[in-house]
């Protein structure tokens, strides 16, 4: 199955930009989705199909992809953005499984 | 409003069994594939199992294959996970989630609040 690699952690000052990467050798051939998980809460889908936002997600959250790396960008970071972020792809090669990245903890300074 | 309410977690001894439930509301349950995922304490997200909208297809992760069974009841809008031969490494918060596979690529667009399973003697 896929292995999706993310940086373990990231610290960013309020008002600055957080950039979270997700690398995998098949990312270029499939869609990537992103989830935000705050402490003690269930994950929330924030980006789907590489760059689309579900309703209710602010425009300062965006996604992109280049080659085998997907990127989640959070502009004008706020205290409420402090959370774990996971990328995800859907693997149809074997068990139609949801494969998650290792997760990135974003700390707002 | 889409709601997924998980239940059934608890403390169980190694080798024991547990049945998790997830009650859905706010959408046409029978039109969506559903999944169970889990998160061990301090760890990342792990996919456990998925079931298609009409139960024709069921998929399991390698770590639980042969020990768990996913099922659903489209009359009662409920999803289930029967877990047998539980091990300490099955200790986790278990989430149910709705799958959205529009465009041929699946993501999980709504998640339940999670139910904690603790396997310990």
- Gap between the Cα atoms of B62 and A39, Å rounded: 27
B108 touches chain A (CB under 8 A): yes
Quick check: A94 pLDDT over 90? no
A102 touches chain B (CB under 8 A): yes
Quick check: A93 pLDDT over 90? no
- Gap between the Cα atoms of A8 and A77, Å rounded: 18
Task: Tell me the mean pLDDT in the region A56-67.
Answer: 97
Q: A100 and B47 in contact by Cβ < 8 A?
A: yes
pLDDT bin (cut points 50, 70, 90) of residue A81 is very high
> In the prediction, which pLDDT does A1 show?
67
Quick check: A96 pLDDT over 90? no
**Mean pLDDT over each residue of chain A, to the nearest integer:** 95
Q: Under a CB-based contact definition with an 8 Å cutoff, are residues A43 and A86 in contact?
A: yes
C-beta atoms surrounding B106 within 10 Å: 24
pLDDT tens-place string over residues B42-65 = 999 999 999 999 999 999 999 999
Tell me the CA distances in angstroms from B46 to A77, B71, B93, B112, B121, one per residue in order: 28, 19, 10, 15, 24
Task: Tell me the mean pLDDT in the region B95-113.
Answer: 94
Task: Tell me the mean pLDDT in the region A46-65.
Answer: 97
Size of interface A-B (CB pairs under 8 A): 68
Report residue B98 as tokens.
Answer: 């709705």
Report residue B82 as tokens.
Answer: 């029967």
pLDDT bin (cut points 50, 70, 90) of residue A31 is very high
Residues of chain A with Cβ-Cβ distance to B107 below 8 Å are 31, 33, 45, 48-49, 88, 90, 98
Task: Tell me the mean pLDDT in the region B6-27.
Answer: 98
A28 touches chain B (CB under 8 A): no
> In the prediction, which pLDDT does A88 show?
97
Quick check: A87 pLDDT over 90? yes
> In the prediction, which pLDDT does B102 show?
85
Instruction: State how beta strands B92-100 and B34-39 pair.
Output: antiparallel
Tokens 């990135």: give the residue: A104
Q: B45 and A35 in contact by Cβ < 8 A?
A: yes
B9 touches chain A (CB under 8 A): no
Report residue A90 as tokens.
Answer: 């859907």
> In the prediction, which pLDDT does A95 show?
75
> In the prediction, which pLDDT does B22 show?
98
């Amino acid at each position: 199955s896929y292995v999706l690699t993310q940086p373990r952690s990231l610290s960013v000052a309020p008002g600055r930009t957080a950039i979270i990467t997700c690398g995998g050798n098949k990312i270029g051939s499939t869609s990537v989705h992103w989830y935000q998980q705050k402490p003690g809460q269930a994950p929330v889908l924030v980006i789907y199909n590489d760059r689309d936002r579900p309703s209710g997600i602010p425009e300062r959250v965006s996604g992109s992809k280049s080659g085998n790396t997907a990127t989640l960008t959070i502009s004008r970071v706020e205290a409420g953005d402090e959370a774990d972020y996971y990328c995800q792809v859907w693997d149809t090669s074997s068990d139609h499984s949801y494969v998650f990245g290792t997760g990135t903890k974003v700390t707002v300074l | 409003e889409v709601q997924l309410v998980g239940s059934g977690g608890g403390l169980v001894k190694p080798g024991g069994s547990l049945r998790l439930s997830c009650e859905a509301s706010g959408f046409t349950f029978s039109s969506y594939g559903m999944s169970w995922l889990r998160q061990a304490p301090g760890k990342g997200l792990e996919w456990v199992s998925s079931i298609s909208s009409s139960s024709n297809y069921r998929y399991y992760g390698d770590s639980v294959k042969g020990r768990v069974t996913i099922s659903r009841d489209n009359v009662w809008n409920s999803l289930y996970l029967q877990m047998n031969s539980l091990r300490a490494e099955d200790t986790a918060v278990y989430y149910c989630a709705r799958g959205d596979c529009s465009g041929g690529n699946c993501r999980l667009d709504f998640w339940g609040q999670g139910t904690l399973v603790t396997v310990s003697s």
